[in-house]
Amino acid sequence: MPEYPEYLAAVVFAVGGVVSALLAPHRFSTAVLFCLAVTSAGLGVAVRSAADHPTVATVLAVGALLLALALGVLLLADGVLLVRRFGPQAALVATGASGCAVLAVLGLDAVFHVVGGEAFGVLVVAVNAVAGYLILLFLVFAGYVFARGRSAPLPDTTHVVVLGAGLDGDRPGPLLTRRLERALAIDAAPAPDTPRVVFVLSGGQGDDEVRSEADAMADYLRGRGVPADRIVREDRSVNTGQNLRFSAALVDGTAPGRRATVVTSGFHVYRTTLLARRVGVPVHVVGAPTSPAYWLAATLREFAAVLWLDRLLLVGLSLLLAVPVATAVFQQ
């Protein structure tokens, strides 16, 4: 094992991932450790297979190339489509820019195969390791988001908390409308003789909004036949953490034996669950459907937001990638 330090790094990361999974299975740092393990092992396999098993190295390289190319093209195309549809919003531009970054890495690889050079090769190994790690981490995160976004509501739900989203004028926008429809579906699911749920509508008034999101949601539900006595408004929150804390206080003050299900967009379920644990609010979160064209851009934004939640820990862990990268470089 000492002869293969990049494999030793992979084993250490994998053991750390197992320990993290046992102690804190829902933290994204667990996925970070496993992705570091895979990246370290991949570097070792790539470096050694290039000399000992060139066919294996070629197959791995082509597979990684096709995966990265598909992701880069998809991100770029999605970003362009969304910017043309909704205008140059920061999150949408970032989606296209991320696709360009992936394609730029592939372009760097192509240039290296033409130009060559030892110093250039060191740069290419380092850039590919970092890019491969981030792509793998994003794909794992996308899997988290997809799985969590399909969660079912709690049985015998007594309260449905709907988290606010942007308004279209004075009415709920498309994202918020889907969340409200998901909440209404939860209310309609139980047997007819089951007590109907109470809707807790959580969302303040943004700087660019003409009214609070809670008020707009209340009007929408009343228009769908929900009586006013089953609508509770929380109109002070300006972020998800406040949504959860303020809504939990309202739910706790209504009745004993309450069981709350929080409704947000499917891509937002995982981060909402993490935030709920962080602020000490034990809730169950379910997702409303999202347009497929918007899902990728929204998931990329959620990825950046989750990394920011534990930025010091995750940056520290990610810097450990320097160990297997340095080992691979010295093997060149």
Q: What is the pLDDT of residues 8-32, one digit of tens each?
A: 778 888 888 888 888 876 778 888 8
Beta strands in 47-170 (DSSP E): 159-163, 167-168
Tokens of 269: 């379920």
Q: Over the stretch 172-191, which tens digit does the pLDDT of each residue have?
A: 999 999 999 999 998 886 66
Query: Distance between CA atoms of 187 and 181, rounded to whole angstroms?
Result: 10
Residues 6 or more apart whose Cβ sits within 8 Å of residue 294: 82
Q: Is the pLDDT of residue 38 over 80?
A: yes
Residue 284, phi then psi, degrees to nearest 5 = -105, 130
With contact defined as beta carbons under 8 Å apart, do 324 and 11 qualify? no
In whole angstroms, what is the distance from residue 55 CA to residue 69 CA?
A: 21
Q: Are 101 and 263 in contact (CB under 8 A)?
A: no
Hey, what's the torsion of the CAs at 111, 116, 119, 123, to 10 degrees?
Answer: 30
**Has residue 229 got a pLDDT over 50?**
yes
What is the reported pLDDT for 219?
93
Angle CA 207–213–217, to nearest 5? 160
* Percent of the chain predicted with pLDDT > 90: 28
Structure tokens at 54: 């060139």
Which of helix, strand or coil describes residue 161?
strand
